[in-house]
Amino acid sequence: MKAYFNLFDFKQKIDYKNEILAGLTVAMTMMPESLSFAILAGFPPLMGLYAAFIMGLITSIFGGRPGLISGGAGATVIVLIALMKSNGLEYVFAAVALVGLIQIVVGLFKLGKFIRLVPQPVMYGFVNGLAVIIFMAQLEQFKTVVNGQATWLSGNALLIMSALVLLTILIVAFLPKITKAIPPSLVAIIVVFIIVLVFNIDTKTVKDIASVSGGFPPFHIPKIPFEFEIFKIIFPYAVIMAGVGLTEGLLTLNLVDEITGTKGNGNRECIAQGTANIANGFFFGMGGCPMIAQTLVNLSAGARARLSGIVASLTILIIILFGSPIIERVPMAALTGVMIMVAVGTFEWVSFRIVNKMPKHDIFIGMLVAAVTIFFHNLALAVLIGVIISALVFAWESAKRIRAKKYIDAHGIKYYEIYGPLFFASVTAFNEKFDVNTDPAEVVIDFRESRIADMSGIEALNKLTERYAKLNKKLHLKHLSEDCRTLLKNAEAVVEVNILEDPNYNVLPDKAKSLH
């Protein structure tokens, strides 16, 4: 248990100034996003801030790695919109709590390791698509609501908004060239805030999104009947939200691993995410998951420990309780500029430089994942599609590698030396290698450079031996690996592999000399 309370997992020297300033910057950028998604889903605005506080605090203390920021993320909240419209807020709270249980189970059974199956092209597509989403979301701040409809800003309002956003971008881009003592994002927010305040500039502020004033998150047991029929309603939403949250969370964890050169714990992160979501379900939060944009803000500000996440969470709580009159006057232009720079920093520009060196199918997969991420805003679906296509491409390419070297020894025995794996995709090519009708009476298949990978491979051998048996020809398998022997033995009750002379599938030992 001691490790879970250790804020400094990697025993590195902690820069407290960077951690505190980074936490303050993260809090500033997280609040408007959490409020926006809560309003989008039809929730009370404070549900978004409560989620940011609860998710951020619990995962920062107990999560799988320092530097990772969690909050009320849109990727997970979008899943709950339909449930909110059809069944109401109490069902949402129950679903969020169930999400937490599912995520804890995933962590306890150590299923987080399956994130290793995500190939690099999928990561490129995922990150690039996310960068575009972050950028496009900022364009909404250049709109205003007139008579219930969102319209683009024009005239002085557009010029003021654009100028303030541009000023923010310039500060974030060029301040690090002068000094790295203070996070440039925080400096940009403060400078723009002061300019707007001193010159009394009329521009959109945080208050125009929603009020951030409230009390401590209240304890609340979801008021729904404890019945199986209710469980059937909320379970599909909970499974999808849990999957989306864990996918985004583990991908973000991998991204932070690459940036910091350290290793996080995916299963511990799953448990922490689940615990935080259970707390959300009982403390009026809308749930959430790791937020890539805020995580990148945190890292770019120099944070590398858990302290920044704790500071960000407590800052949000303090603002809810006491600081809303000040925070509500922060210009949205400053936050928009910061997030635009986050989008620029998120994009994997290196993918453009190496595109002409990548296989064509990897380029296609990366572009497809990015497109699904951008147009469907479903990160889990995008990654799933990318992984499936990558697996199919790998299977196809592996299938083309199977070959056979053929020769007849001095005793008239024909040998087939197989190279490449025998599995479902290579079965057809494998069968085409054999000249059953013209082969001599005795044939050896040598698997020294091959292996039988699945049931399709076993069935292919079964049919091949039947073809030789009908012609009264003997077939031997040689140099089968131990796992292949086990696979054949386990399939004995299902498929009869008719190898002549040997009831144990005639696995020919290396020392056998009768065929030489």
- Which residue from 235, 276, 294 is spatially nearest to 107, judged by alpha carbons? 276
What pLDDT score was predicted for residue 208?
A: 83
CATH superfamily of 403-508: STAS domain (3.30.750.24)
Taking 50 as the threshold, does the pLDDT of residue 507 lie above it?
no
- The label of the residue with tokens 């499974």 reads 239
Q: Report, as an integer, the average pLDDT of 486-494.
A: 69
Q: Do 436 and 404 meet the contact criterion of CB atoms below 8 Å apart?
A: no
What pLDDT score was predicted for residue 199?
A: 93
Taking 50 as the threshold, does the pLDDT of residue 512 lie above it?
no
Q: Do 332 and 204 meet the contact criterion of CB atoms below 8 Å apart?
A: yes
What pLDDT score was predicted for residue 287?
A: 95
- Which residue from 306, 296, 312, 315 is spatially nearest to 60, judged by alpha carbons? 306
| Tokens read off for 150 | 């969102």
- Count of C-beta atoms within a 10 Å radius of residue 355: 13
**pLDDT tier for residue 24 given thresholds of 50, 70 and 90:** very high
| Tokens read off for 157 | 């309002």
Query: Alpha helices, DSSP H only, in 142-213?
Result: 155-178, 184-198
What pLDDT score was predicted for residue 9?
A: 53
> pLDDT over 90 for what percent of the chain?
40
Q: Report, as an integer, the average pLDDT of 205-226.
A: 89
What pLDDT score was predicted for residue 433?
A: 93
What pLDDT score was predicted for residue 378?
A: 67
Q: Report, as an integer, the average pLDDT of 27-37.
A: 81
CA angle, 258 then 263 then 268, to 5°: 125
- Which residue from 40, 66, 136, 147 is spatially nearest to 309, judged by alpha carbons? 66
User: What is the per-residue pLDDT across 39-95, written as a single tens digit (0 to 9) for each?
Assistant: 767 888 899 999 999 999 999 999 999 999 999 887 787 778 779 989 999 999 999
Q: Quickly list DSSP for 350-409.
A: HHHHTGGGS-HHHHHHHHHHHHHHHHH--HHHHHHHHHHHHHHHHHHHHHTT-EEEEEE-
Looking at per-residue confidence, does 123 or 241 come out higher?
Answer: 241
Taking 60 as the threshold, does the pLDDT of residue 498 lie above it?
no
Q: Report, as an integer, the average pLDDT of 219-243.
A: 90
Q: Do 342 and 334 meet the contact criterion of CB atoms below 8 Å apart?
A: no
Q: From the centroid of its chain, how far is CA 363?
A: 19
Q: What is the C-alpha separation between 427 and 76, in angstroms, rounded?
A: 42
| Integer CA distances (angstroms), 372 to 116, 122, 440, in order | 21, 11, 55
Taking 80 as the threshold, does the pLDDT of residue 301 lie above it?
yes
- As a residue count, the chain comes to 516
User: What is the per-residue pLDDT across 183-210, written as a single tens digit (0 to 9) for each?
Assistant: 788 888 899 999 999 999 999 988 887 8
What pLDDT score was predicted for residue 181?
A: 72
The pTM of the full predicted model, rounded to 2 decimals, is: 0.69
Q: Report, as an integer, the average pLDDT of 98-122.
A: 86
Domain with CATH 3.30.750.24 in the chain: 403-508
**pLDDT tier for residue 164 given thresholds of 50, 70 and 90:** very high
What pLDDT score was predicted for residue 500?
A: 38
What pLDDT score was predicted for residue 510?
A: 44
Which residue type occupies 227? E
Torsion of CA 142, 145, 150, 154, to 10 degrees: -50
Taking 70 as the threshold, does the pLDDT of residue 11 lie above it?
no
What pLDDT score was predicted for residue 452?
A: 86
Taking 50 as the threshold, does the pLDDT of residue 478 lie above it?
yes
**pLDDT tier for residue 515 given thresholds of 50, 70 and 90:** very low
Torsion of CA 273, 312, 316, 163, to 10 degrees: -120
Taking all residues of the chain, what is their mean pLDDT, rounded to a whole number? Answer: 85
**pLDDT tier for residue 96 given thresholds of 50, 70 and 90:** very high
Host H or E run for residue 293: helix 292-300
User: What is the per-residue pLDDT across 233-281, written as a single tens digit (0 to 9) for each?
Assistant: 999 889 878 887 888 888 888 889 888 888 889 999 999 999 999 999 9
Taking 60 as the threshold, does the pLDDT of residue 350 lie above it?
yes
Taking 90 as the threshold, does the pLDDT of residue 34 lie above it?
no
Q: Report, as an integer, the average pLDDT of 201-230.
A: 90
- Which residue from 298, 309, 343, 279 is spatially nearest to 100, judged by alpha carbons? 279
What pLDDT score was predicted for residue 194?
A: 95
